[in-house]
Amino acid sequence: MALDIKELSSNKSFGGYQKVFSHESAVTKCEMKFAVYLPPKAVDNSPCPVIYWLSGLTCNELNFIQKAGAQKISSELGVIIVCPDTSPRGCNIPGEDDGWDFGSGAGFYVDATEELWKNNYQMFSYVTAELPEVIKKNFPTNGKQSIMGHSMGGHGALICALRTPGFYSSVSAFAPICAPTECPWGLKAFNGYLGPDKTKWDEYDACKLVAKYSGPPLGIYVSQGESDQFLKDGQLQPEKLVDACTKACVPIILNRDQGYDHSYFYIASFVDDHIKHHAKFLKD
């Protein structure tokens, strides 16, 4: 496993540093980039908990750090924020750059099994295994981590937490794709990455995973804007996640926020609440 990293940029922010790094991934077999916010406590080499942020379709490692405004609250609470890219890049796979909702920028946080994609598109393993080892080796962490994300990344955060019981202390999401086996984005991605065997799809659908979850409490916290254009066209389906959690007796908090859409203006409005939520679970 390749654990060495290369610093690409560094900017002081609220007493800490917002940095971007690259490394050669043994999992995706290409160069991967990720952003890290180091609060002052981490700059002083004191161990800190980590919150992973997974971004949505068309995004990369920079969107959250440039638009969400999370550095101030992260500095105050002493949490490291890690933002990986949303897919491998430049793998010379036929069709990888043909569309915005499949291929580059759209890895869906699955481990692909289809021939064209399985060599590189191993984003579930990258996020849950390789990247945490990279972070552990290179930064002062205390062994506690939580995960959150937006849209495709909200889907990613939910499945990562549900498939690795006990690894994350809590999980949250903005406007997550809750039932990807039943929406157009998910159908396209799962057919392409996982093939026609729908039993493979169930392993990456939060509603299906909640139904059989038996791990420790996850502190699931979801925010959904009521004016979200993708809520109206059936891509997100938060009601299905709530129903699945209710049936499985898995606690969930769903905030439905009037007037907010799918953009980073929504995320910036409530990101402090999400990070404070995680901080409660990440206390020593």
Residues with catalytic function:
151, 228, 262
Rounded Cα–Cα distance for residues 220 and 271 (Å): 15
- Strand extents, DSSP E, the chain: 6-13, 16-25, 30-38, 48-54, 80-84, 141-150, 171-174, 220-225, 252-257
Q: What angle do CA 222, 150, 36 make, to 5 degrees?
A: 115
Q: Which residue has the tokens 């799809």?
A: 201
Give the type of residue at 266. Y
Between the CA of residue 116 and those of 39, 91, 97, 120, 269, what are the distances in Å?
40, 10, 13, 9, 39
**Backbone phi, then psi, for 66, in 5-degree steps?**
-90, -25
Q: Are 104 and 87 in contact (CB under 8 A)?
A: yes
Rounded Cα–Cα distance for residues 137 and 29 (Å): 20
Q: Which residue has the tokens 């191993």?
A: 122
Q: Are 236 and 185 in contact (CB under 8 A)?
A: no
Rounded Cα–Cα distance for residues 19 and 114 (Å): 34
Q: Are 162 and 187 in contact (CB under 8 A)?
A: no
Smallest Cα–Cα separation from 139: which of 28, 17, 26?
17
User: Both ends of the chain: CA-CA distance in Å?
Assistant: 29
Radius of gyration, CA atoms only, the chain? 17
